[in-house]
Chains A and B, each alone.
Chain A
Amino acid sequence: MDALAITLQYVFTGVAIGSIYAMVGLGFNIIYNCTGIINFAQGEFVMLGGMFMVTLTTVWKLPVGIAFPIAVLLVVLVGIGFERIAIHPLKNPSVLVLIMITIAGSILIKGLAMFAWGKEARYLPHFSGETPINIMGATILPQTLWVLASLLTVVVGLAYFFNRTLIGKAMRACAHNPDAARLVGISVKQMVTLSFGLSSGIGAIAGVVITPIILMDYQRGAMLALKGFGAAILGGLGSAPGAVLAGLLIGILESLGAGYISSHYKDAIALIVLLGVLFVRPGGLLGSADVQRLKKF
């Protein structure tokens, strides 16, 4: 392979994992916009999506087309259930308390997943076989196309939801000005529940499509969440286009770093870039500095 093909190969690999970071980052943003908190259980939704998919396809022998929506639905139920039980009943909780609750939720879900699926990594067959597709000397797995298609679907779906539907607009209204939203009759608490449902669903989609490539184990979510969080911050917390752009960027950098420098430093490279950008642009790539000043963190 010539140098160009090798680079292209690294980019393809990076785009696949970067799409996952992007989706996790989108999930962070949805909950952040609605509640002002970072949901540290976001990575667990990704892990659960993959794990449910493994069980549904290998134990229950369901075809991918049926198992996929069921797995996502199950995770959405977990997300909504988590919000209903742990967050909904609180009256005027502080941001710090909410964040600690999500950390506790993350630990709890991780523990339960360990009981349910064991400690070893779980394998999921690729959805459309493993015959690589050749593009300019580099190869791309059909599964990567699944990942990209999911990211595209999620982005288009979210754009439609937030700009065209009444509920989506109501969620934006409540993110922008909760008091005014309540005055027109929007129940902020309902919107918070909905935001957990939505972001757990997106996390689950990411988990389902990435599991065949990276395998899934009970503590895999944490690292994915960290990178997804990096994507959300790098893109500018709250900005959806920012999260997508930054997610892909982190994924590609990580993959190039692993290829050209050393795979030992792959996580470090991505995080150093993250820190570097934040030194220059504290608001993130697509966030504005003025908005940043008003944020709680």
Chain B
Amino acid sequence: MLKVQNLKSYYGRLQALRGISLHVGKGEIVTLIGANGAGKSTILNTVAGLVSQNEGKILLEGKDIRGLAPERIVRHGVALVPEGRQLFAPMTVVDNLELGAYVRHKNGSKIEIRQDMEMVFDLFPVLKERRKQLAGTLSGGEQQMLAIARALMSRPRLLLLDEPSMGLAPKISEEIFRTIVRLKKQEVTILLVEQNARMALEVAGRGYVIETGQVVVQGPSADLLRNHEVERAYLGKTYEKVWE
């Protein structure tokens, strides 16, 4: 589905990614874990087209989409749920969802879009209750749900999720993660960036550990959960506990 080869990204003169290679298979959930500033979000933003200075290859089903503008990439079936949700705050929930399906409106598929809206309401029933409310007035968890729902409205083949649990109460985070598992059953391919490494590895099949713009460890989630270095650095266990 997605194959990233030797990707290097820059913010001005600062190099944020130092040759990242990773792949995401169809129907897979893959997670990127790592500390703040390691470059996880940069990977997602580069794939979505928001970081314009980069080199390497980003292959989506064999086609190189690197260097395309974000508004073109979403037409190729890649949707990013950005960090901090980035909703259209002064607009209603329904307006946000309608704009999420912006790329599909031109084909005159009004009925399909209605159906998809019912589908995301089914996924997040609370959004249906709040459909006429302004996005900016929703709670943090509801905003995150709306951000995911908006991305789903473009019918992505690949969903990029950037820190969906950020700033949310543990209970709400769990709800978001349950939805991610449900999406997997609907065969949406997901690349997930998460601070909460344990939760991420529990839903994902595979994971990559990113440090200072490079992949340092990779493998199936079960292996990463047992990897001593990963346990110590990202799962909150000290060496003592690991050795006991």
Give the contacting residue for A180; candidates B86, B90, B105, B154; CB below 8 A: B86
Does A166 belong to the interface (CB within 8 Å)? yes
A184 and B91: CB pair below 8 A? no
Interface residues of A in 177-213 (CB under 8 A from B): 177, 179-188
CA distance A179 to B70 in the complex (A): 9
Say yes or no: A184 contacts B82, CB within 8 Å.
Answer: no
- Complex Cα distance A95/B79, Å? 30
- Which of B69, B89, B150 sits near A184, CB closer than 8 Å? B150
Cβ of B88 within 8 Å of any chain A Cβ, yes or no, is yes
Chain B interface size, as a band, is 20 to 34
Chain A residues whose CB sits within 8 angstroms of the CB of B55 once the complex forms? none
Q: How far is the CA of A51 from the CA of B90 in the complex (A)?
A: 39
Q: Report the separation of the CA atoms of residues A180 and B50 in the bound assembly, to the nearest whole angstrom.
A: 10
The reply to whether B91 and A169 form a contact with Cβ atoms under 8 Å apart is yes
Q: How far is the CA of A185 from the CA of B155 in the complex (A)?
A: 12
Alpha-carbon separation in the docked complex, A170 to B103 (Å)? 11
Tell me, in angstroms, the Cα distance from A186 to B99 when the chains sit together.
9
Let me know if A173 is at the binding interface, CB within 8 A. yes
B48, B74, B88: the one within 8 Å of A173 (CB): B88
B116 within 8 A of A: no
A179 to B84, CA, bound (A): 12
Given the known inter-chain contacts A166-B102, A170-B102, A179-B50, please indicate yes or no for A185 contacting B75, CB distance below 8 A: yes
Taking the complex as formed, is B229 at the interface, i.e. its CB lies under 8 A from any CB of chain A?
no
**Measuring CB to CB, which residues of chain A are less than 8 angstroms from any residue of chain B?**
166, 169-170, 172-173, 176-177, 179-188
Q: Top 7 nearest A-B pairs by Cβ distance?
A: A185-B103, A180-B86, A182-B70, A185-B74, A173-B88, A185-B102, A182-B71
Given A172-B90, A176-B90, A179-B86, 6 more pairs with CB closer than 8 A: A177-B88, A180-B82, A182-B69, A183-B70, A183-B82, A185-B103
Q: Enumerate chain B interface residues (CB-CB to A < 8 A).
A: 48-50, 69-71, 74-75, 79-80, 82, 86-91, 95, 98-100, 102-103, 105, 150-151, 154
